[in-house]
């Protein structure tokens, strides 16, 4: 694919004076690319773009994921932040990496996403989509949460813990990893369900098929006035008693540009 129309999304907290943004824009225009620079992505400025370049960290990529997944625009991340696990390259190697991509030396990784729904009785409401994870927890982290886990309508377990993380393969190296969950390779079609600090010797993370339907329902324990679901660490949605949280695979994907010589395990060792 030839990338002629390119949209640059800059996290101005990482490129405060837009120094690198302007350098990159000029570099691309010298190669006869049509370039637009924005601070926030929306349904209008993404229209007709062949490639989206993010300047920031992993959070910048996660933030654009919901919008770009609607039209499958590929994303190339340049890390200006701290970790940059999802970004394809660092600032000091950006132009060499982009040169490879513009010359066709790349692959597109279709990263799986999840949809979250709340179910109360017969009413089912869409909460949002995530690239990384859905988290069920209490606002007051010093108080334990009790919940049941159902998989495809079958009871899989009852937990007392600080919460639960349901993650994609992409999200498996984020909060899930910190909570003791498994690392899942990006191309695998699996979902990880990891209890957060469970008060049990037998509670362990589960790796499920992407086809499985996951449902979490919290139980009465020390009051129920502060339970919420968090989507990719951003959107926090309060849940009322009697709500069942359902999580399933999304039909959408986030398409990340990778150079052909990029190796997941090399990135894993370098970043973690």
Helix/strand/coil for 105: coil
Question: Is 162 an annotated catalytic residue?
Answer: no
Residue 43: CA atoms inside 13 Å, Cβ hemisphere, count? 1
Residues near 9 by beta carbon (within 8 Å), at least 6 away in sequence: 38, 39, 40, 41, 52, 53, 54, 55, 56, 60, 64
Alpha helices for the chain (secondary structure H): 19-29, 58-71, 94-102, 175-178, 264-271
Active-site residue, from 15, 50, 58, 212: 58
Specify whether the CB–CB gap between 38 and 73 falls below 8 A: no
Angle subtended at Cα 220 by Cα 215 and Cα 226, rounded to the nearest 5 degrees: 80
CB 81 within 8 Å of CB 12: no
Angle (CA) 168-73-76 rounded to 5° is: 75
Q: Can you say whether the dihedral through the CA atoms of 135, 242, 112, 230 is positive or negative?
A: negative
Catalytic residues: 58
């Amino acid at each position: 694919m030839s990338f002629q129309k390119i949209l640059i999304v800059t996290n101005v907290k990482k490129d405060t004076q837009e120094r690198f943004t302007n350098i990159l824009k000029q570099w691309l225009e010298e190669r006869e690319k049509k370039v637009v620079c924005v601070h926030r992505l929306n349904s209008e400025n993404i229209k007709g773009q062949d490639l989206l370049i993010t300047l920031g960290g992993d959070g910048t990529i996660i933030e654009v994921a919901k919008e770009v997944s609607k039209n499958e625009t590929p994303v190339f991340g340049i890390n200006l932040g701290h970790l940059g696990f999802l970004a394809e390259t660092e600032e000091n190697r950006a132009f060499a990496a982009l040169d490879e991509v513009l010359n066709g030396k790349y692959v597109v990784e279709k990263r799986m996403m999840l949809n979250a729904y709340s179910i109360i009785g017969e009413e089912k409401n869409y909460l949002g989509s995530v690239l990384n994870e859905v988290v069920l927890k209490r606002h007051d982290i010093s108080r334990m949460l009790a919940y049941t886990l159902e998989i495809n309508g079958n009871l899989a377990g009852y937990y007392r813990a600080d919460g639960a993380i349901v993650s994609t393969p992409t999200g498996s190296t984020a909060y899930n990893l910190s909570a003791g969950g498994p690392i899942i390779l990006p191309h695998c079609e699996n979902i990880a369900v990891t209890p957060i600090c469970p008060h049990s010797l037998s509670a362990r993370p589960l790796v499920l098929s992407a086809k499985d339907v996951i449902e979490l329902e919290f139980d009465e324990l020390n009051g129920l006035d502060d339970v919420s679901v968090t989507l990719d660490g951003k959107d926090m949605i309060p849940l009322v008693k009697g709500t069942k949280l359902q999580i399933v695979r999304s039909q959408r994907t986030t398409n990340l540009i990778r150079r052909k010589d990029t190796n997941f395990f090399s990135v894993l060792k370098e970043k973690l």
